[in-house]
Chain A
């Protein structure tokens, strides 16, 4: 489903560059639920951004489905994001002046889906998240957990093959975090690949597989409960 080969990524600094990802090799299959862990500065968010086509990479190759993602134009990147990927952010990133329904329907707007169909599908998705009674609420009128449910509904509305979640429970209390993880597990159970960046071990424990990064290198990659020693340049399934 997702295949990274020798991905290198560095950021320019005054007087040089800062390598962030150092030759990442990684395969993630359809339907997996993967946690990416690591300390601050380990490169986990950068890896998620590369996977989500939100950021480019310097070296290596990235295949999503059967499509090579190297050297995509800005427009092509937008199209693949819209078609294959859904995003869930730590700070929800709902658009403040749009209602829950309008936020969920927004990705369909960029797919040029007709307004009536957009609203119908968004309402159905909110219903699946148990949020249909909050469809007309603005984000400011929702709790943290409700916002994240709306954000997940928005990520799912285009029927993506992969959900990328960056610290989805980072701004939530433990009860709400549990509820959100329950939702993500249900999403994963429907066959959608879920990749979560987290620094919380109990969140990672709820995933099928945990990848641990350190200093831009995969140092652990294993199913929950098992730890696999990394290869020289990383690890793969």
Chain B
């Protein structure tokens, strides 16, 4: 197999799908000759032309709505929202329209659209360009929410998102764009709602999303040196959530740390922790469930402060040891 970056995997999935399905098109700000703010669509307008790679004005409400309206009438749009923070401006169309149309209309009409959007901190972009707001979207019935952590997952999950007949929010983490993995050349699907055990272990389960998967794996490597065996579970999709894989892992290890970059209060980790507590895994717990999340502040600019905002490898190591009563 050949190695490509996460960014290339996203582009390749879109391009391959667009070659075989003429209903699929992409719209967004600066996605034309500029190639998108992060370069994901670079080269696409040259291949597919300006009709199918539609460069839009800076109008998040209208372009989100145009995606919803075109999906309702037979297209399969991919909306690139330049930064996931800008979803605030597109929120009516995503939350009040896309998520609810099928239900409100009694099961008529479908909205097959993908909102691809870069999230997360670590780039120095400060408070309005660094958030992780996935819990907001996961809260809304009618939406699906995906957070791929590797290039392999990104390609397979994006294909499933494009095949899905519902509005899907596809979060791309900015720090992961340049990461490399073995990725098949052909298109393939990773089913939505299928978690991936990124590392097997026996002592503690760490449920981690997006960039935290990589930090959890690093922490696991360190902890292994101290004889602590960590299992890293990557849910990959928040909605639908593969509860079974998480529950089975916790039943095996009896200890769990949930870690995400999003602000801890109201973050999706709370949902995962509650789900575990409500499940049969509760009886297997040998320690309280631990949660790690972003600090209760906006994301700061200063690099040291920014780092302190999000959980780092050492935080995960510490939390894992606490779960083991070894801190």
Q: Are the chains A and B members of one assembly?
A: no
Chain A contact residues, CB within 8 Å of chain B: none
Question: B residues engaging A (CB < 8 A)?
Answer: none
